[in-house]
Amino acid sequence: MFNVDEIRADFPILNREVHGKKLVYFDNGATSQTPQVVIDAIVDYYSNYNANIHRGVHTLSQEATDKYEEARLKVQKHFNAKQSYEIILTTGTTHSINIVASGFAALLKEGDEVIVSALEHHSNIVPWQMLCEKTGAILKVIPMDEDGSLRMDVYHELLNAKTKLVFCNHVSNALGTINPIKEIIHAAHKFGAYVLIDGAQAVPHIKPDVQELDVDFYVASAHKMCGPTGVGLLYGKEELLNLLPPYQGGGEMIETVTFEKTTYAGLPHKFEAGTPNICGGIAFGAAIDYMNEIGFENIAKQESELLAYGTEELEKIENLKIYGTTNKASVISFNIEGIHPYDIGSILDKLGVAVRTGHHCAQPIMNFYCIPGTVRASFAFYNTKEEIDVLVASLKRAQMMLS
Ligand SMILES: *Cc1c(COP(=O)(O)O)cnc(C)c1O
């Protein structure tokens, strides 16, 4: 059974104080906290079998290689990829997107069209703009609505025979919107376009099935799902990963090298040049095990209760406006009239409450609402209603001090 007190005991950091107050951590959308089992996996690696992988004949190297490849299998199983080599271990979402965007530079031509959503994180906008600059392809945007949903009617009109790629996040980090990615993928495929889904903000809440989604590329970061920073995944369909040229040259990604010609290694090594984040990959595997032990149904239930309670309580605060009111994950993005989000965030910090303030790497969304930014409280399964009460009381105090 799901017991939030027991779960909180798995996270040593939740016991710490900030400015003499008990920490209330509501910045899970930026990075999640790390359970002891994941910390232990990191300590175990450096204490017992730290070695470079794939090249050594000695025991430590073989142990590290086995554990690293075991982690890849855990990622494969979690996302239900058909083949383990369709899972490329990267440094995170940003890296994964850049591998695909730079690969398509060789495959697009002038006048081709690519479609992005208005709800994207900068890391799912800028690499595609760079791709368009390089190739002469044209970037089109699916606009958004006041409630934070995508204008799917416009999306269907944007699609045509020239559309080659569509990229969209599964869950918006700025507003929490859960996008209709199945519809997006299905519609794009009718025109022969490939789809990349940025799952960075979805993976803490949802267990995606890449085969069921029939998605071409799915990317995410470990650090948003209880894993360490500096590691993530690129899932790609085998035939598409084979189509893309390598992103970086170096060790590990080659088959043979002479000064006349180099041949590349097969998947997944073709995209894994250099020594990877070995420890991070192994700890990512431990994080996946941990989240599955908690269970994604339990996670969803706890988070939807927090979202409902938090929304209800925040709406009672005078002059508070919530951005993004459509079907969404446990994220509340809001402003209090007449007060800059940064000032609210600073006072909340003094009261021990960690939230995000600013544009959340999604300036186009802020431009849409004509605001400089928002305060974002993002909840994880280890948060509680009592913590939401602390947030609400702290907001009322901030409001009194600032208005
Ligand atoms: C966090 C986030 C990213 C960037 O992830 P990195 O780990 O910084 O590479 C991209 N997209 C979304 C939706 C995010 O939430």
201 lines ligand 1 (CB under 6 A): yes
Label the pairing between strands 138-142 and 113-117: parallel
Q: What is the pLDDT of residue 46?
A: 98
H or E stretch covering 18: strand 17-18
Give CA angle at 371 (180, 113), nearest 5°. 45
Rounded to two decimals, the pTM is 0.98
C-alpha count within 13 angstroms, C-beta hemisphere, residue 171: 22
Residue 251 has pLDDT above 90, yes or no: no
- 198 pocket-lining for ligand 1 (C-beta < 6 Å): yes
Give residue 403's pLDDT.
Answer: 82
Q: pLDDT tens for residues 162-214?
A: 999 999 999 999 999 999 999 999 999 999 999 999 999 999 999 999 999 99
**Mean pLDDT confidence for 386-393:** 98
- Res. 252: pLDDT tops 90: no
For residue 173 and ligand 1, the question of a CB distance below 6 A is answered with yes
> Which phi and psi (to 5°) does residue 26 adopt?
-120, 35
Taking all residues of the chain, what is their mean pLDDT, rounded to a whole number?
Answer: 97
Tell me if 124 CB under 6 Å of ligand 1.
yes
Residue 15 has pLDDT above 90, yes or no: yes
Q: Encode pLDDT of 116-137 as tens digits.
A: 999 999 999 999 999 999 999 9
**CA contacts within 13 A on the Cβ side of 223:** 14
* CA 201 to ligand 1: nearest atom: 15
54: left (phi over 0), alpha (psi -120 to 50) or beta: left
pLDDT tens digits, one per residue of 69-96: 999 999 999 999 999 999 999 999 999 9
Q: Which of 189, 185, 34 is nearest to 199 (CA)?
A: 185
Q: What is the pLDDT of residue 56?
A: 82
Measured distance CA(221)–CA(26) in Å, rounded? 18
Distance from Cα 79 to the centre of ligand 1, integer Å: 18
50: amino acid identity, one letter: N
Cβ atoms within 10 Å of 311's Cβ, excluding its own: 16
CA of 94 to the centre of ligand 1 (A): 6
Distance from the alpha carbon of residue 93 to the mean position of ligand 1, in angstroms: 6
d(C-alpha 252, C-alpha 399), whole Å = 55
First to last CA, the chain: 45
Does 200 contact ligand 1 (Cβ within 6 A)? yes
Whole-number Cα distances in Å, 207 to 220, 291, 377, 399:
12, 10, 22, 38
pLDDT score, position 338: 94
144 forms beta bridges with: 150
Output the pLDDT for position 272. Answer: 95
236 - beta bridge partners? 217
Mean pLDDT score, 331-343:
97
Residue 1 has pLDDT above 90, yes or no: no
Ligand 1 atom 5: residue of nearest CA: 93
Q: How confident is the model at residue 293 (pLDDT cuts 50, 70, 90)?
A: very high
Is residue 147 a contact partner of residue 326, using CB atoms and an 8 Å limit? Answer: yes
Span from the CA of 6 to the centroid of ligand 1 (angstroms): 29
Whether residue 371 contacts residue 360, with contact meaning beta carbons closer than 8 Å, is answered with no
In the block, which residue shows the tokens 């799917």?
152
Q: In the chain, pLDDT over 70 holds for what percent of residues?
A: 100
* pLDDT of 361 strictly over 90: yes
